[in-house]
Amino acid sequence: MIKAILFDFDGVLTTDATGSESICNYICMKTGLDIKIFEKEYFKYNDDLLYGKTTHEEIWKKLCEGLNTQIDINILYESFINTPIDNQMMKFIDGLKKQNYKVGMVTDNKKDRIHSIVQYYNWDKVFDVITISAEIGSGKEFNTIFEKTINLMNLDANECLFIDNQEKNLIIPKKIGMNVIYFDHEKRNYEKLVEEFKNLYSIKLD
């Protein structure tokens, strides 16, 4: 019996496929920088940011030097809270909570970004558990992030359902006994998702 639904963040709860896409799009919109040039420089630091080896604050000066331009770091912080949230998905979450399901977030992401977004939307009151790769130094390609989430919820793997927009991220949770659903972030087929919840797991999405 499913007791908890765990959501990936970018691509599932947001309409951009990745967090880096949201960050780069916003900064380039605000500064007029060429997005390809900015992405090339930003991605030099992306993995270390995702796994907690560094922070945006630590790399920002070096990133600006690589771009040969000064960017106010507050524009970066603005990009966090301007991430495009999928309101339909948040409605689904509200409906699940009303049915007394536990709800969690499992995300390969930057610590400062997720903390800013959670604080901005007051999501500490929405999600029972939020697990971030940068906080534990491990992502969805390993067991750790999923096992930590399950343990924090005091549940067994088979009592959890995980939703992600990348099929490669469903391999490990499925392997350890979790239930999984792939959500196509381009098609964003809510009707299909509702049917999968209902037919596969007898869960009603309002």
DSSP per position, 103-132: EEEEE---HHHHHHHHHHHTGGGT-SEEEE
Q: Residue count of the chain, please give it.
A: 206
- Checking if the pLDDT of 79 tops 90, the result is yes
- Mean pLDDT for the stretch of residues 116-138: 98
- What local confidence, expressed as pLDDT, does residue 153 receive? 98
pLDDT above 90: percentage of residues in the chain = 99
State the Cα–Cα distance between residues 69 and 172, nearest whole angstrom: 41
Does the pLDDT at position 119 exceed 90?
yes
Which has more confidence, 82 or 205? 82
Mean pLDDT of 93-105: 98
- Is it the case that residue 191 has pLDDT exceeding 80? yes
**Arithmetic mean of pLDDT, 57-77:** 99
pLDDT of 206 higher than 90: no
172 has pLDDT over 90? yes
Above 90 in pLDDT, residue 122?
A: yes
Give residue 205's pLDDT.
87
- The answer to whether 178 and 160 are in contact (CB under 8 A) is yes
